[in-house]
Every structure is written in structure tokens, then in C-alpha cells.
Chain A
Amino acid sequence: MQISELAPALPALREAPARRWRDLLIHPLVLRLLSFAAVLALWEYAGRIPLSPAFPTFLETLGGLGAIMADGTLFKAFLITLHPLVIGLTASILCGIALGVLMGLHEPSEWLFAPIFVIAQAAPLAALIPILTFAYGIGLTAKVMTVCIMAMPVIVLNTLGAVRNTPKSLLEMGSSFLATRSQSIRLIILPAASPMIFAGLRLGCAAAFIGVILAELLITPTGIGDVISYNQSVADYPKMYAAILSIIVFSVLFIELLERIEVTLFRPEARP
């Protein structure tokens, strides 16, 4: 009696562990880790062939990372690199959003400014670095400017697009419920634009990281750029790649943080 009741449940019980494994395997986190692991394994393999004597394996790179972290080089380098990055990025975000919003709301200023940024976004701006060096010397200013010319165009153009793309029916809704111009900008246009503005900020941040490393490699070696080029010159490739890896990881984490900030502060509807 009891056994016959159990019988139909038995196959399910037997299948349960298998299904649990399958569920685990297609879990988003597991898949993401798998994709990391695959890339790292490929790196390790390529380093062991070896592809080039100047290409360390992943594990050697980790060793290099440990070394530059232990002696404090990495930490000091980051502080130096962050200096032009933070100044340049803050300026780009503030000016970029302000300019983008202005251009989005006021057509003549779009005609005035947009071509500059469209060209700036399309042009290979790294080619301008020698001119920046010529104009601003080899100090902090030139590096800040490099960050700005890399980060600003995408922030400005995304903000402009975001403001322009405010749904027409929301604007009509605002005016039918008697919104003043400033209410409509504050309560409708900016909140509606914020997801796309933030998308621009994320791209802008990524570009700013490219800018600061370019500046440190091409203008004068400082910070992370110095760690990279110094270790390259003394052929300590694990440390060189460790520096590259660390700035990539830092950039990814920073952009992730930005996304968290966006959702917490500006997107109540996207919160889980």
C-alpha cells in the first residue's frame, strides 16, 4: 500500500539530482563564470604554447600581480592614474550632460555644437594627443584633456539623443495637465532621458579609461601607464600584463558600480 503510493514518485526522486545539476549548469551566474573560465583557460594555454616569449600565462600574470600589489607599486600607480581620470571624467560628465541637455532642448545650440561632437566621436582622437601635448605640455592638463576628448563626445551625443527621444505622448500629457516648461524638463524630460544618459555615461567612462591609459603611454609614463611601459622595457612581462589586467578589472568594476548607482538613485521601477 505504502510502496504503491511511493512508486510513482520514485522516478522523480531518481531524476531529481540530474535535474538539479542541469538547473545549476544553466544558472546565469554559473554560465558567466564559465565564460570567464574559458577565456582564462585559453589565455593560460596560449601562454604555455608559448605564443610569444613576451606573452606570459595567466598564472604567471597572477604572480606578477601579487608582486606589484605586495610592494605597493600598483596602489601608488592607481592613485596617480586616477588623478587625471577623475578630474577629466567629472568635467566630461558635468559639461557633457549640461551641453547635451541644452542641445536637446534648444535647437540652435544643437546646430552650433553637435557637428563638433559628431566629428569628435568619429575621428581617431588618439591622433590629437601630440597636438594636446604641444598645447598643454606634458603635465596633468594634457592628460585631463585627453580623458575629456575621449569621454565627452559620447556623453554629449547620448544625452542629446536621450532628451530628443522623450516620448511625444509624455510631453503632450505634461502640457495637457498644465506643466510649465521647467516642470516638464524636470519631471518628464530628464527622468525619461536618464536611462539613455546613463548608457552614455557608461560608454563615456570606458572611453575615459582608454584616454587616461593612452595619455600615460603616449605623453609621459606615469601611474599604470608607467608600470606597463617600465616592465615592458625590462622585459618583466608578467608584471606588465598584471598592470593591464588590473586596469581592465578596475574599469569593469567601476562601470558596474555606475549601473548600480543608476538603478538605486534613478530607476525605482527597475529595482528587483
Chain B
Amino acid sequence: MNPSAAMASQPNRDLPPLPGRAPQPIVEVRSISKTYAGGIEALSGISLEFPEGRLTTLLGPSGCGKTTLLKIIAGLIPATGGQVLVDGREVTGPGPERAFVFQDFALMPWASVIRNVAFGLELRGVAHSEREAIAERHIARVGLKGFERKYPHELSGGMRQRVGLARALAVDAKVVLMDEPFSAVDEQTRRKFQEELLELVANEGKSFIFVTHSIEEAVYVSDRIALLSRRPSRVSAIIEPQIQRGGDPEKIRRDSAYLDVVEAIWQQLRHYLD
């Protein structure tokens, strides 16, 4: 009944094979635990590997500590115990090799789109004209060309998250950490985003760590899903959905492999609800 065993054996989808060796994990967490002040144990000894160039999702019931784990990886909150390794080196705080996409977008309302997108570069002291050129490219990349001088309040929720995404891409980090990035946008936009995310994973050569509570979303976008249990959270299963992603994106949602994985995960998660 372990879905990972059932599905991990098939050959992976059309990613460039790494010559001669197993893919090196870009991020590795080793027995991470987190106890909040007041004794609430959020994470209990989580060990996970995040393969390079793939999208790995942390999926679990709400309040299970997925976001906590992501923020520990980002270096935004300290872990109580354990290690985070990025590219083989232990990290204890934020670093240039990781960029974060926030659930609530975290855009500066007083700054235009281009300044928001260029903000990571501004903080790193990149010259004004250079960072604007980079930002412009990424604004176009996420489909917001022409909105450079607008302010966040003039944009829809979906467009604001595109700004958040462009900002994360603009600093050219190896790892993009996304905290429920599509949960504050409407369903249509959300589907569009999921399709674009697949494209991004395929073309950017970056590694993505994605947090969501939506099973469908996780299966649709992920190369690998880490299923977290209820608090105190552990990894209850690793699932690698083997879905052919070429061609019509709508077809995937009707694909039987896709639906089977969704069902298998649901069966795993449902007993947390009781």
C-alpha cells in the first residue's frame, strides 16, 4: 500500500540524465526538529533529500508544519535541532542560493513592480540600470510586460504573485522555495500558474521546493512529494508521481496515472482527519 514503492520504479520523465552518478541532492535536511516556545512540537526529526533540478513538494494536512519546514530551509526561522545542507554545505541563515516566494506575495506597496522585482538585487548592491534590465527581463518572463511602473494595488492577486515569482527568479538562486504560492489566487489563475510552473521547472534548471495543502496541485506539479504527518510532523511517505507531462496540460488532469496518485495520497491523508 506504499505508493512510492508502487510508482518509483518507472523511468523518470524527459529530464537530462545525469552522467554516471545518481542525482546529487541540492538540499538535504537531516533530522530537523522544531519546538516552539510553549512546548508545541511542530517537527520531529525530519530527514529529506531534495534532488537537483526537480520540483519537490511538501504536502500534508493543514497545521502540520510544512511551512515551518520550508522556512527552516530558507533560514528564516531557526530549527531546534538537526541540519540543513544546501549544495553539501550546512546553512543556518538565508543565503544567495535560495529565493523565497511568499504565500501573501510580500510585495512592498510603496514600490513599483520593477522595484519590487529588482529588490533582491538592490539589496545586493547591483547598480540601478543593471538591476532594472534584469528585472525587466524577468517581468516579461512571467508575462507582466507593460506593468513595470504599476504599483501592487493596481494588480490582481494573480499578477501580484507573478511579481513575487519574478523577484525570486531575478536573484538567480539555485533553489526556489515556494510557500503555498497559489493559495491566494482564484482557481482559473491557479491552474494557469501550475502549467507555467511545470514549464519553469523544465526550462530554468532550478530546483523548486513547493508547499501546498492541495493534493491535486501537488501531484500535478511535482516530481517528488514528501507527505508529512500531523503534528509533530514526520515524513510519512515519499511519492514520485510518474506522469507524462508533454503535450496537452488538460490531458494530465484526466490521466489515469495522475488520478491514481491523487487517490493514493488521499487514502493516506484521510485518516489524519479523524
A and B held together in a complex: yes
Residues of A within 8 A of B (CB): 167, 169-170, 172-180, 183, 187-188, 191-192, 194, 266-269
Chain A interface: which of B29-37, B105-113, B135-143, B262-270?
B105-113
B120 within 8 A of partner (CB): yes
B54 → chain A, closest Cβ, in Å?
Answer: 21
Interface residues on B, range: 20 to 34
Give chain B interface residues in 128-171, CB to chain A under 8 Å: 151-153, 167, 171
* Stretch of B94-102, B195-203, B216-224 contacting A (4+ beta carbons < 8 Å): B94-102
7 further contact pairs, Cβ within 8 A, besides A173-B106, A192-B108, A269-B151: A172-B100, A176-B75, A177-B99, A177-B123, A178-B123, A268-B112, A269-B152
- Can you name 30 A-B pairs with beta carbons within 8 Å? A167-B106, A169-B106, A170-B106, A172-B76, A172-B106, A175-B76, A176-B74, A176-B99, A177-B94, A177-B99, A177-B100, A177-B119, A177-B171, A178-B123, A178-B124, A179-B123, A180-B123, A187-B119, A187-B123, A188-B108, A191-B108, A191-B111, A192-B110, A194-B110, A266-B110, A267-B110, A268-B112, A268-B151, A269-B152, A269-B153
For B109, give the chain A residue with the smallest CB separation: A269
Whether the pair B104, A169 counts as a contact (CB closer than 8 A) is: yes
Q: Are A176 and B112 in contact (CB under 8 A)?
A: no
Query: Which residues from chain B contact A172 at a C-beta distance below 8 Å?
Result: 71, 76, 100, 102, 106
- Seen from chain B, the residues whose Cβ lies within 8 Å of a Cβ on chain A are 71, 74-76, 93-96, 98-100, 102-104, 106, 108-112, 119-120, 122-124, 151-153, 167, 171
Q: A176 near B110 (CB under 8 angstroms)?
A: no
Q: Is the interface of B mostly helix, strand, loop or mixed?
A: loop
Central interface residue in B103, B119, B123, by most chain A CB within 10 Å: B123
If over half of A's interface residues share one DSSP class (helix, strand or loop), that class is named, otherwise mixed; here it is: helix
Task: Report Cα–Cα, A73/B118, bound state, in Å.
Answer: 57
Contacts of A191 in B (CB 8 A): 108, 110-111
List residues of chain A with CB within 8 A of the CB of B120: 177-178
B73 to chain A, nearest CB (A): 11
Given A183-B123, A187-B123, does the pair A176, B104 have CB atoms closer than 8 Å?
A: no
| Separation of A268 and B116 alpha carbons in the complex (Å) | 14
Chain B contacts for A167, CB-based, 8 A:
106
Separation in Å of the B180 CB from the closest CB of chain A? Answer: 12
**B102 lies within 8 A of A174 (CB):** no
Q: How far is the CA of A194 from the CA of B109 in the complex (A)?
A: 12
A176 to B75, CA, bound (A): 7
Closest 8 CB pairs of A and B: A173-B106, A269-B151, A177-B120, A176-B100, A169-B106, A179-B123, A176-B94, A191-B110
Complex CA–CA separation, A94 to B123 (angstroms): 28
CA distance A180 to B111 in the complex (A): 19
CA–CA, A192 and B108, complex, Å = 8
A-side contacts of B152, CB under 8 Å? 269
A180 cross-chain contacts in B, Cβ below 8 A: 123
B105 (CB) vs chain A CBs: closest residue: A169
User: Are A173 and B100 within 8 A (Cβ)?
Assistant: yes
